[in-house]
């Protein structure tokens, strides 16, 4: 950037002296104007680094007005006052009011004036460097701010997309579970709705046990799918109205394992396959398929066992008649500690809304 040093003076001696100092010692461009108007015209079209005002030739107020104008054009212009016979007090007044950086005496001590100009030019260059760095930082901050906004908008938009996809997946998943349970129950009108009723009873027990929402959701799905393995049992056995033979009983007892094999490969968030596998285990270890006992059986398995038996007693079955709620409850309480976990039975018996 070409540095312009502008002198405002109409004193030929002053102009030639300063021009000589500048041209001999600095690479800056020396310009002079004989009036403030002429000086302002130049400043408005050229970036001057220093404006030197010969104060001896103008009254103080005119000088002050001019220097304020200069500052308004570009705040970084260094303002220097050249004085001859002025009183010290007048000079201080001018320096303060016009924010003058340096005062130079017309004594024409060349070394001193040269040093002052070196110092003033260094100060100007430092100011410009600071301004350039500030502008760069401001520009980079603006870019970062805009990038941050774009990033935030992208995150919000992607989150909404994921949320919608997740909802669609959840709906699709629920529909699939419904389809699977219907596929089992559609074969037998008498047990239709069994998984829904078991799931509802399990929810009553789960809530009485103060389960959190996530655990309730897992228990609900496990209950809905606990008999899915019956898909693999033939109609002749599954729908047989008479009592089953020992061989047929062995076949129907395979349904927890079949259900486990169907559900285990599905990446559920919960251990649904384990609950399907264990819902016919007994608390005393005499259940099937693995003869697990006590807390070896998962909590969901122990809960489904109670709800499953309750529905089996209180609903139509091919080989038994429908019995009352009180009978079912008595039967379950009677088997507490044998077939069922006593704590689950106690909770189940204490549910006020129990049908
Ligand atoms: Fe079952």
Query: How many angstroms separate the Cα of 28 from the Cα of each of 49, 53, 71, 214, 237?
Result: 9, 17, 20, 78, 108
How many angstroms does the Cα of residue 350 sit away from the middle of ligand 1?
A: 24
Distance 173 CA to ligand 1 centre (A): 22
Model confidence, pTM: 0.56
Number of domains comprising the chain: 2
Q: How far apart are CA 121 and CA 205, in angstroms?
A: 86
Question: 315 CA distance to ligand 1 centroid (A)?
Answer: 14
Ligand 1 center from residue 316 Cα (angstroms)? 15
Q: What is the pLDDT of residue 169?
A: 82
Where do we find the tokens 């309730």?
216
Q: List, edge to edge, every strand of the sheet that includes 102-105.
A: 29-33, 4-8, 48-54, 78-83, 102-105
130 within domain boundaries: yes
Q: Ligand 1 center to residue 306 CA distance, Å?
A: 11
Angle between helices 299-314 and 213-225 (to 10 degrees): 50
Domain boundary among 94, 112, 135: 135
Q: Does 208 lie in the same domain as 115?
A: no
User: Are 123 and 195 contained in the same domain?
Assistant: no
| CATH code for the domain in which residue 87 is found | 3.40.50.2300
Report which of residues 2 and 18 the model is more confident about.
18
Judge whether 63 lies within some domain: yes
Ligand 1: distance of its center to the CA of 201 in Å? 15
Ligand 1 center from residue 227 Cα (angstroms): 5
Cα 182 to ligand 1 centroid, rounded to whole Å: 15
242 occurs within a structural domain: yes
Centre of ligand 1 to C-alpha 278, Å, is 9
One domain, residues 81 and 208: no
Cβ–Cβ < 8 Å for 319, 333: no
Same-domain pairing of 118 and 208:
no
75-84, 136-145, 293-302, 341-350: the lowest-pLDDT one: 75-84
The better pLDDT of the pair 240, 301 is held by 301
269 and 208 fall within a common domain: yes
Name the DSSP letter for residue 217.
H
Q: Domain limits at 233?
A: 187-349
Residue 263 lies in a domain: yes
Pair (303, 219) in one structural domain: yes
Q: Is the pLDDT of residue 316 over 80?
A: no
Give the list of residues 6+ apart from residue 175 with CB closer than 8 angstroms, or none: none
- Cα–Cα distance for residue pair 217/332, rounded to 1 Å: 25
Number of helices and strands in the chain (H, E): 14, 5
Q: Give the pLDDT mean for 43-55.
A: 88
From CA 76, how far away is CA 47, in angstroms rounded?
A: 9
């Amino acid at each position: 950037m070409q540095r312009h040093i502008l002198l405002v003076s109409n004193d030929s001696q002053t102009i030639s002296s300063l021009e000589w100092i500048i041209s001999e010692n600095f690479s800056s461009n020396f310009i002079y104007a004989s009036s403030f108007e002429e000086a302002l015209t130049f400043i408005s079209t050229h970036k001057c680094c220093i404006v030197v005002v010969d104060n001896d030739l103008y009254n103080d107020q005119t000088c002050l007005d001019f220097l304020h104008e200069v500052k308004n054009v570009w705040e970084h212009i260094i303002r220097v006052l050249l004085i001859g016979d002025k009183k010290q007090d007048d000079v201080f007044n001018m320096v303060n009011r016009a924010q003058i950086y340096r005062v130079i005496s017309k004594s024409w001590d060349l070394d001193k004036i040269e040093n002052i100009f070196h110092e003033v030019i260094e100060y100007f260059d430092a100011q410009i460097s600071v301004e350039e760095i500030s502008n760069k930082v401001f520009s980079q901050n603006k870019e970062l701010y805009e990038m941050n906004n774009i990033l935030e908008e992208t995150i919000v938009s992607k989150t909404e997309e994921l949320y919608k996809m997740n909802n669609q997946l959840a709906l699709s998943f629920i529909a699939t579970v419904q389809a699977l349970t219907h596929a089992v129950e559609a074969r037998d009108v008498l047990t239709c709705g069994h998984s829904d009723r078991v799931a509802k009873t399990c929810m009553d027990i789960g809530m009485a046990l103060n389960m959190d929402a996530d655990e309730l959701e897992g228990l609900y799905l496990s209950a809905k799918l606990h008999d899915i393995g019956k898909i693999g049992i033939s109609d002749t056995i599954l729908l047989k109205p008479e009592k089953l033979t020992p061989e047929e009983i062995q076949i129907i007892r395979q349904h927890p394992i079949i259900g486990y094999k169907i559900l285990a490969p599905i990446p559920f968030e919960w251990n649904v396959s384990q609950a399907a596998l264990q819902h016919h285990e007994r608390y005393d270890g005499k259940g099937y398929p693995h003869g697990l006992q006590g807390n070896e059986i998962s909590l969901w398995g122990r809960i489904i066992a109670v709800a499953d038996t309750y529905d089996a007693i209180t609903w139509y079955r091919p080989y038994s008649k429908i019995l009352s709620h009180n009978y079912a409850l008595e039967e379950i309480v009677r088997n507490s500690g044998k077939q069922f976990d006593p704590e689950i039975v106690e909770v189940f018996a204490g549910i006020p809304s129990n049908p």
